[in-house]
Amino acid sequence: MISLAIGDPDIPTPFHIIERLCQAARDAANHHYPETEGLPQLRQAIANWYQRRFGLALDPNKEILPLIGAKEGIAHIAFCFIDPGDIALVPDPGYPPYSMGTTLAGGQPYFLPLTEENEFLPDLKAIPPHIADWAKLLWLNYPNNPTAAVADLDFFQQVVGFAKQHDLAVCHDCAYSEVAFDGYRPLSFLEAPGAKEIGIEFHSLSKSYNMCGWRIGMAVGNERMINALMRLKSNLDSGIPQAIQYAAIEALLGSQDCIEEHNAIYQRRRDLALKTLAKIGLKARPPKASLYIWARIPEGYSSVDFATKLLDEVGVVVTPGVGYGEHGEGYIRISLTTPDDRLKEGLARLEGWQASRKGG
């Protein structure tokens, strides 16, 4: 089997980050329970990174909270805002923890269709006013998983106005901001004027620095929202191991050359995959960012049927779009995190499968 399904970077964590991790692990001071709010040095490093990357000034003591991976904070934030019966506005297709966190907190997801016709952006005007007024949270994610869509500043400004009008808290998942191609530079939601008044942003070192296994990310933005999440987490976990925090500091403040090097690899893989998809009749927009290609499948198949056919007939694993929500039907997601040799073999199998279908 060749898996083109999971977004788990195959490229190792950069050497200089691992070296700092090993050094910190040998320090007995890092063998004790860490604090929920993380090391002051880490919060300052995050603030410095956000200033350098997005031109945003963040208070490291009030507007930044390290997380045990972004997923942990994404799932837990619902418990800060959602009571039983409350609504969260959730993109569909979307990363499952947005809706699952809401459900676990006793709330109800109200799904916002992301359609190709609308550039995979939610149509805010289509949300019934009584739903918008009832809702407590609005989830966004750009660059997007699974569609690979991106958002511009104008859209984020519209979101800020919409959130203020309906007294909504906005949570933006920005985990893929550093995986981008062809010179494109994704934005932070917090760059929109007024965004910090109503929202926070989740980020991760998993995709930026290939630190998936070390489980470290951050939430930044609105002081009250950050404080609420910190107080919840203080009752649920014991913080991030400090050696990993020092590795994160090295990642954020050290050489950033690895990001460009990794993106060159992913862009090469993207281009190879797009050529094959075009040959076998799957339509896909070249993604500007993220680790994925969102491809429309041929008519006559469901996304599960098509993915099953590829698995059974050529041993290639792709993700059915419906796994990310009802409006993911008709698509599959292909990940660019497969080593080059395996990716090429998988693409060759897909081309051979198409040729055999034509021959039959």
Cβ atoms of 348 and 4 within 8 Å: the answer is no
According to DSSP, residue 10 is labeled -
pLDDT band at 10 (very low <50, low <70, confident <90, very high): very high
Cβ atoms of 299 and 312 within 8 Å: the answer is no
CATH 3.40.640.10 residue ranges for the chain: 15-253
Q: Is the pLDDT of residue 358 over 80?
A: no
Helix (H, G, I), strand (E, B) or coil at 253: helix
Tell me the average pLDDT of the chain.
Answer: 97
Q: Is the pLDDT of residue 283 over 60?
A: yes
CATH 3.90.1150.10 residue ranges for the chain: 2-11+257-359
Stretch 188-203: mean pLDDT: 98
pLDDT band at 355 (very low <50, low <70, confident <90, very high): confident
pLDDT band at 317 (very low <50, low <70, confident <90, very high): very high
In tens, the pLDDT along 31-49 reads 999 999 999 999 999 999 9
d(CA 167, CA 91): 19
User: 109-131 burial by CB neighbour count: b if 16+ within 10 A, else e?
Assistant: bbbbbbeeeeebbbebeebeeee
Burial zone of 27 (CB within 10 Å; 0-12 exposed, 13-18 middle, 19+ buried): exposed
Q: Is the pLDDT of residue 352 over 90?
A: yes
pLDDT value at residue 354 = 84
pLDDT band at 359 (very low <50, low <70, confident <90, very high): low
Amino acid residing at 347? L
- Fold type of domain 15-253: Aspartate Aminotransferase; domain 2 (3.40.640)
Architecture of domain 2-11+257-359: Alpha-Beta Complex (3.90)
pLDDT value at residue 78 = 97
Q: Is the pLDDT of residue 232 over 80?
A: yes
Stretch 50-76: mean pLDDT: 98
pLDDT band at 357 (very low <50, low <70, confident <90, very high): confident
In tens, the pLDDT along 208-229 reads 999 999 999 999 999 999 999 9
Q: Is the pLDDT of residue 360 over 80?
A: no
pLDDT value at residue 146 = 98
User: 220-252 burial by CB neighbour count: b if 16+ within 10 A, else e?
Assistant: bbbeebbebbbebbeeeeebbbbbbbbbbbbbb
